[in-house]
Structure 1
Amino acid sequence: MRGVPQMFCYIFRQFSGLPPTTRVRQQGQARTKKKRCWATVKTRAQQLVMMLVHVLVNGRLWDWATAGTRRGTLVLVNNVIADVVWAGDGGETEGKAAAEELGKQWAERVKLHAAAGTLHTMIRGQGREKLVTQAHENVAKAEGVTDAEAQPQQAAQWKVVDLEGRTVLPGLQDAHLHVSILGERAERIDLAHCRSIAEVQQALREGVRRKPAGTWCIGYDWDHEKLAEGRPLTRQELDDVSTEHPVFAFRVCVHVGVGNTLALQKCGVPLERPASIMDILPPGITPSSAEAADDLVGYSEEDGLATGMLREHMCYHVEDMLRKTATFEQRRARIVRGLQQCLRVGLTAVQPNDAHAWDVYTALHAEGQLQVRVHLTIPYDELHTHADAPERPTATSDDMLRCERVKVFADGSLGANTAALSLPYRCKHHRATKGILNYTQPTLETMFSRATRSGFQLEVHAIGDDAAHKVVSAFAECGLGREHRPILTHCQVLRQDVVDAMAQLQVVANIQPSFVVTDAAWVMKRLPPALLTHAYVWRTLLMRGIPCAGGSDTPVETVNPFRGMYDAMYRNGGHEAVGDGGDGDGARVFKPEERLSFTEALHLYTRGAAYAGRCEDTRGWLAPGYAADLTIVEHDVSREPHRMRNMLPYQVWVAGTPRL
């Protein structure tokens, strides 16, 4: 079947019931617009017996050509959009009877060509034609199946779905999130509601009571900006919670956390400051300098005792210890919970950064339990070092699961004052610091070259302008450009030279619109004025022709893509009043000139995310030949975008199947 166009591969795998297979992209293999799908047929061709046609009628469909919704009808053949009939285009199908007739016609067409041994369907596209061909006899000969056995045994079936005026959007996608951690939250203690250190302690005490002595008690989402004391927690305050449990509380950004004495002991951190922090770091943690190492573990300047604060790599070390002690069943349950939450908010595809997760995702796929498409990004540390990570970029033939990307953390977060800036922070607790740069530029170049030689796409976390500058410079030194699609994730603080370089190299900007709302409350106090000019400049990036994708970074922000689009449009919670902006609440917004239109916001979570995931030819459009991934909502949000603030979907279709 080598060379069969991808649309039919979607259909073929869906209705044949064949087991999933994988394809591996070799180094240097050209990626062209006409993608190919490789499939190995390991069952009898007589399984090619059934195709299902869905006709979705009486709805409003998003049309990129007009940047709005139009009345129309969608025809799905198994997991692919086969036809779009716009009302008024000479193919009026608004009535149920007309839709039934359309379904019957498509079912007959499928039956006719399948019975002839060839599925040969002309698909009308937007200004182009796609020819989809499948020769059953070629498959049969390859498998030693006779012509008689190869004949389909049943006709195609069809079903009409009345949308009753609802709006159909291309399936929404999240280009950056943490599914495993999202699902893990059910096992941890939520501290987001706490407004004082006493409340944090009380919440943790309640959690400790439910756990046997010696087991970890993990809290999450505290924010010193919201605490009455206006400062982080301390080791002694967590010792007051328990001395029999290792207690650790992650800040909302997950880049810093505080542990009690027992937790620090588990991490190998001495209570008294050692002569060199480098000497106490766990194996595998190699800071860019001794100064950077000093920032990873907090010690009091007054008495030299541990404050309990751990930053960046040391925080990742805590997470790594916890995950390594988890059973496969525990890790599976967390990912399943996380994916269920993604589906409930309208996502059809996710691009998660999850550690030690490839074995779980492959098992879920083999069991047919993946309800949304997954493009897993593995940590750089798992590249060729863990048995549960693929050696080469890998994707399943039904395109429900991919692992083709490697993640590198260049710096930390603004909220924790660990994002690497070119100028010192302004806040009172960190006036002298410029943040933490995890790697020098030469080290970044070595890492990037290694990942690229292995065939993986690069995604690099960079929040501060100094980190972004060094990352983009390393991209250029490694010869990475449009064809490699390197991704710069977060892009919160940039500079003009960084934006220019991103435009030249066509670096993908993976942005999180909801960060604006969260950070606007304190960013003016934290960043020096010179760095505010190119902070959170989503529209500027788009206007420069830089590819942009939208993500949530959940659980740091809400996983709901509608809220992400809303925040991209309204940017509420900032410092400059501009009236109600159509949202009816008179909210103030941060940098209103960087607000996006609905079309631009939708682009981030559909076509933009698809481009970041190298699947723009099969996702992001309601057009023939594209995957039948749909997010259906009650209201026309293109005309009433303020509804997205607290919206949930009516229905979610993935691969031609209603999943929600």
Structure 2
Amino acid sequence: MGVLWYGGNIYTMKSIGNTVDSVFIEDGIIVDTGDYHILKQNYGNKISEIKNLNGKTMFPGFVDSHLHIIGHGEKIAHLDLSLMTSPEQVAEALRSRVDNLHEGEWLIGEGWNENQWEDPRILHKDELDSICPNNPMLLTRVCRHAILANTHAMEKAGVNDRTKDPQGGKIVRNEEGQATGYFLDTAQEIIKKVVPDISIDKLTKLVGTSIDELLELGLVGGHSEDLAYYGGFNKTLAAFYNAINKENRRFRAHLLVHHEVVDDMIASEISFSEQNEYIELGAMKIFSDGALGGRTAWLSEPYEDDRDNYGIPIHSIEVLEDLVKKARLHGLPIAVHAIGDQAAWTVAKLIQKYPLNNGRRDRIIHAQVMNKQLLELLKSIDVVLDIQPTFVASDFPWIIDRLGEKRVQDAYPWKTYLQHGIPCAAGSDAPIEDVNPLHGIEAAVLRRSNIDGNIYNEKQQLSVYEAISLYTKGSAYVIGREHNRGQIDKGFLADFTILDVDLFQIPPEKIRTAKVEMTVVDGEIAYNRE
């Protein structure tokens, strides 16, 4: 027996403006679409329930193509520093936590961002020691490519002024060569490795906490990268099973597999895209560079505000090539973090050298800095660009200091990608950015800075249809599910995001004010605002 939905604006996303009057679903699959009266007549004996949208608007279910589900749960559970506007405010928030710490307990904070402080300086470990001298402290920068640690944490990790920088990372030091407590990219792992493992119960709770909020925000699924952390592949995968299956949460988690745990995946005899209807394993995840905020994204030309710095390649080119070859050995696509244009160029050349011939799709994640030569290369290979629209809203105008007025004109070029036929999907990179897909859609359309309210690179603004497509058809295409996800059509999964307003009929600056009325996964209501 099935359910007939009608009575609202139902956008199929098959093409611009394409709508249907009603949708009949059965066993989690869309059986038919069309005129309400015809469907009611044709399927009358199979209809067990009729749901009236009462003028609300239905879309194919929104899917975040790049986030960190457990990391988002940590942001909710830990001390959230993302809205702080000064180092003093951060310090006060830390002090408020110290008195409640048990002996040996870590003080963990998430999301600090000096670029939104009036005094954009990096806190020194001496300041952290004055706040919290007796407990180890770990504060993750918003980009997740840098951390701050106090002396207690550094001592636990065995770090001193003579500790060497690892490949792909940097221990920031002062002019006297003393470590300041600031760790970039792979150097973070020196500290992180001594943080006590989280229990499976707490890990399951973090997954569940995160997914509950994602569903509330209208997301029916997300492509996440978590499996190399929190105690390893098997433990982290088990937490997803526990949170989604055992507690009967409906959410489609597509889990990228970090290259460091691909062997664990192979040993488990779990193949790409195989698990169950809600959990599946995806591409091999690789980091090729850092981030623009900490000047570690790998650029073809030096940073405008640091002329001797081109960023940091996480791996040597030889190691990066070996990782791609390993992925191909197992028939795996790759999903590579590449923010800088030199990083994206290096990855694209390897994809060109080692093409994937089994129908699976590689993706380059972020692709924020572009040049003409790189654009032509991307057009010539089979790759999807996994972009994060909200980076425009949070990175401008300070990104101009990093790249300069000329180069920034070719940065975050979402419209250019689409105009050149390069397929794209969109996500948030939560917890780094706001996970709300409506904020991402609005950012793609407006390109308005959250910092100064100005619009940047107006020619790169997307239409509302293009922006929504990134979270529906785009997210389905990148994982080879375009035949049954991302649209409202016969044979597609009955995953819907239902809003109180029609996004095509309101001013773009009002998109973020839309409210999610219901989130439907597999034909069942997974979240209901009422």
Tell me if the contact between 1:491 and 1:536 (Cα under 8 Å) persists in the aligned partners.
Answer: yes
Pick aligned residue for 2:208 from 336, 343, 353: 336
Q: Which residue of 2 aligns with 1:410?
A: 288
Q: Which moved more, 1:523-532 or 1:199-208?
A: 523-532
Supply the distance in 1 between the matched residues of 2:283 and 2:249 (Cα, whole angstroms): 19
Distance 1:443 1:207 in 2: 42
Q: Note if contact 2:333-2:360 (Cα within 8 Å) is conserved in structure 1.
A: yes
Alignment of 1:214-229 (within 5 A): 214-229=104-119
- Structure 1 residue 273: deviation in Å? 3.1
Deviation of 1:506 (Å): 2.4
Q: Offset of 1:534 from its aligned partner? A: 2.1
- SS of corresponding position for 2:213: helix
Match of 1:372 in 2: 251
2:385 to 481, 495, 509: 509
Alignment partner, residue 367 of structure 2: 491
**Contact 2:13–2:487 under 8 Å retained in 1:** yes
* 8 A contact 1:254–1:315 mirrored in 2: no
Which residue pairs with 1:73 in the alignment? Answer: 22
In 2: Cα distance, 1:646 partner to 1:213 partner? 44
CA shift for structure 1 position 491: 0.7
Aligned position for 2:72: 182
Write the deviation string for residues 39-90 of structure 1: whole angstroms up to 9, x where unpaired: xxxxxxxxxxxxx31011212111345511535011011200001014xxxx
Partner of 1:161: 51
Report the aligned-residue RMSD: 2.2
Structure 2 counterpart of 1:313, from 178, 186, 202: 186
Match of 2:5 in 1: 56
Aligned-partner SS, 2:239:
helix
Q: TM-score, normalised by structure 2?
A: 0.93
Change (3 A) 1:84 1:433: same
Shift, 1:358, TM fit: 1.3
Match of 1:238 in 2: 128
Matched, 1:452 2:328: yes
Measured in 2, the distance between the counterparts of 1:75 and 1:200 equals 52
Of residues 362, 380, 389 in structure 1, which corresponds to 2:241?
Answer: 362
Secondary structure of 1:600's match? helix
Q: Which shifted more, 644-653 or 542-551?
A: 644-653
Q: Kindly indicate whether the alpha-carbon contact (under 8 Å) linking 1:175 and 1:510 is maintained by their aligned counterparts in 2.
A: yes
Question: Hey, what does 2:522 align to over in structure 1?
Answer: 655
Q: Decide which moves more: 516-525 or 55-64.
A: 55-64
Q: Distance in 1 between matches of 2:451 and 2:459?
A: 13
SS state at 2:59 partner: strand
Question: Deviations 1:267-324 (Å, cap 9, x if unpaired)?
Answer: 2211x235xx15xx5xxxxx1xxxx5xx5111112x22111010101224544544x6
User: Do 2:148 and 2:183's aligned partners in 1 also have CA atoms closer than 8 Å?
Assistant: yes
The C-alpha deviation readout for 1:106-133, integer Å capped at 9, x for no partner, is x1xxxxxxxxxxxxxxxxxxxxxxxxxx
CA distance 1:658–1:440, change in 2 (3 Å): same
CA contact (8 A) 2:23 2:30 kept: yes
Is the alpha carbon distance of 1:339 and 1:390 closer, same or farther for their aligned partners in structure 2, counting shifts above 3 Å?
farther
Shift in CA distance, 372/366, structure 1 to aligned 2, threshold 3 Å: closer
1:540 to 399, 416, 425: 416
Alpha-carbon separation, structure 2, partners of 1:389 and 1:411 = 29
Check conservation: 2:12, 2:20, Cα contact below 8 A. Answer: no
1:101 Cα deviation after fit: 4.4
The residue type equivalent to 2:283 in the other structure is R
User: Structure 2: how far apart are the matches of 1:187 and 1:389?
Assistant: 31
Per-residue deviation, residues 333-385 of structure 1 (Å, max 9, x unmatched): 11111111110100111111113421212334542633211101121111114
Counting only pairs closer than 5 Å after superposition, residues 256-275 of structure 1 correspond to structure 2 as 256-270=146-160, 272-274=161-163
Aligned match for 1:104, one of 44, 48, 68 = 44
Is the contact between residue 441 and residue 471 of structure 1 (CA under 8 Å) also seen in structure 2?
Answer: no
Change beyond 3 A, Cα 1:475–1:386: closer
Q: For 1:601, which of 467, 471, 479 is the aligned residue?
A: 467
- Following the alignment from structure 2 to structure 1, what is the Cα–Cα distance between the partners of residues 390 and 358? 27
* Aligned-residue identity in percent: 28
| DSSP-derived class of the 1:161 partner | strand
The verdict on how the C-alpha distance between 1:569 and 1:607 changes in structure 2, with shifts beyond 3 A counting, is same
For the 8 Å contact 2:364–2:386, the answer to whether it is kept is: yes
The worse-fitting range, judged by mean Cα deviation, of 508-517 and 158-167 is: 158-167
Question: Relative to structure 1, is the Cα distance of residues 297 and 526 closer, same or farther in structure 2, using a 3 angstrom cutoff?
Answer: same
Q: Secondary structure of the equivalent of 2:497?
A: strand
Cα 1:201–1:65 change in 2 (3 A) is closer
- For residues 389 and 589 of structure 1, the distance between their equivalents in structure 2, rounded to whole angstroms, comes to 49
Matched, 1:353 2:225: yes
Aligned mates of 2:351, 2:464 — CA distance in 1: 32
Instruction: After superposition, give the CA deviation of every residue in 1:451-471 in whole Å (9 maximum; x if it has no partner).
Output: 221232210000011111111
Counterpart residue identity of residue 502, structure 2 = D
Q: Equivalents in 1 of 2:460, 2:357: separation in Å?
A: 26
Aligned to 1:298: 172
Number of the residue aligned with 1:204: 94
Structure 2 residue matching 1:396: 3-state secondary structure: coil
Tell me if the contact between 2:275 and 2:281 (Cα under 8 Å) persists in the aligned partners: no
Give the Cα separation in 2 of the matches to 1:365 and 1:226. Answer: 36
- 1:358–1:389 CA contact under 8 A, matched in 2: no
**Does the CA-based 8 Å contact 2:97-2:107 persist in structure 1?**
yes
What whole-Å deviation, never above 9, does each CA across 1:143-194 have from its counterpart, x for those lacking one? Answer: xxxxxxxxxxxxxx51010111111101111100000011112332122233
1:299 to 1:223, Cα distance in 2 relative to 1, 3 A: same
Preserved contact between residue 297 and residue 310 of structure 1 (Cα < 8 Å): yes
Q: Which residue of the other structure, out of 130, 137, 144, is the alignment partner of 1:254?
A: 144
Match of 1:552 in 2: 428
Alignment of 1:380-395 (within 5 A): 380-385=259-264, 392-395=271-274
CA contact (8 A) 1:61 1:169 kept: yes
Question: For the residues of structure 1 that align with 2:512 and 2:69, how far apart are their CA atoms?
Answer: 22
Over 3 Å counting, the alpha-carbon distance change for 1:359 and 1:238 in structure 2 is: same
Q: Distance in 1 between matches of 2:226 and 2:264?
A: 15
Amino acid at match of 1:296: K
Q: What are the ranges of 5 or more consecutive residues in structure 2 without an aligned counterpart?
A: none
Q: 1:520-556: CA deviations, max 9, x gaps? A: 1211111134532421100100111111001100111
TM-score w.r.t. length of structure 1: 0.75
Corresponding position of 1:562 = 438
